[in-house]
């Protein structure tokens, strides 16, 4: 009987030695999970801070777009055109009065008024070009912000997914 017990103990010892690598592997996996949990704990505040910054950035972008929309460029251009027309009419009236008083200076005054009209049109053209460039830059910046927001969302979802996976792995390993 003692021999049977000894044989059974040897078999048990052999089986236990087969389980030793699995136990070692499980210990290493547990250490890895603990390390990942520590990393996740460190990443979570950073993700929350990034989320706050993203919210601030979104609010700033919204305010910028609202300001740009409030400028109402078409009505400003109409007012500018009306003013240019009004100036032009005034110049024509002045030309008439001057020609009545100073007939010999008519050609000189005509040249000057044409220069003023040309400069006003050049200024209008320049302003239109500057405003167009500003709108293009604003649109480009808004597009970059949108891409950045998308990247942040992707990173957030990946982080949440990894965290959920780690928690699930921990629950399955622990349970």
- The predicted pLDDT at position 160 comes to 92
The whole-angstrom distance between residue 169's C-alpha and the CA centroid of its chain comes to 35
Q: Six-digit token pair at 142?
A: 């808004």
**pLDDT surpassing 60 at residue 104:** no
N- to C-terminal Cα separation, the chain:
39
Mean pLDDT of the chain: 83
Q: How far apart are CA 87 and CA 93, in angstroms?
A: 10
Angle at 28 between CA 26 and CA 34, to 5 degrees: 105
Q: Is 55 helix (H, G, I), strand (E, B) or coil?
A: helix
pLDDT tens, residue by residue, 113-152: 888 888 888 888 888 888 888 888 888 988 888 888 888 8
8 Å CB contact between 92 and 110: no
The answer, as to whether pTM is greater than 0.75, is no
Helical spans, DSSP H, in 71-105: 73-101
Selected residue with higher pLDDT from 107 and 36: 36
């Amino acid at each position: 009987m003692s021999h049977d017990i000894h044989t059974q103990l040897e078999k048990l010892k052999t089986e236990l030695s087969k389980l030793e690598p699995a136990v070692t592997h499980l210990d290493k996996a547990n250490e890895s999970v603990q390390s990942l949990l520590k990393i996740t704990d460190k990443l979570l505040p950073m993700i929350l801070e990034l989320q706050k910054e993203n919210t601030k950035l979104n609010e700033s972008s919204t305010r910028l777009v609202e300001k740009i929309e409030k400028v109402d460029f078409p009505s400003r251009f109409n007012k500018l055109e009306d003013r240019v027309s009004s100036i032009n009419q005034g110049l024509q009236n002045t030309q008439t009065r001057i020609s009545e008083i100073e007939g010999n200076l008519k050609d000189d005054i005509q040249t000057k008024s044409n220069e003023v009209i040309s400069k006003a049109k050049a200024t209008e053209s320049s302003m239109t070009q500057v405003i167009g460039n500003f709108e293009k830059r604003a649109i480009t910046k808004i597009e970059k912000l949108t891409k950045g927001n998308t990247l942040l969302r992707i990173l957030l979802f990946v982080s949440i997914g990894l965290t959920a996976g780690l928690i699930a792995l921990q629950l399955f390993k622990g349970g």
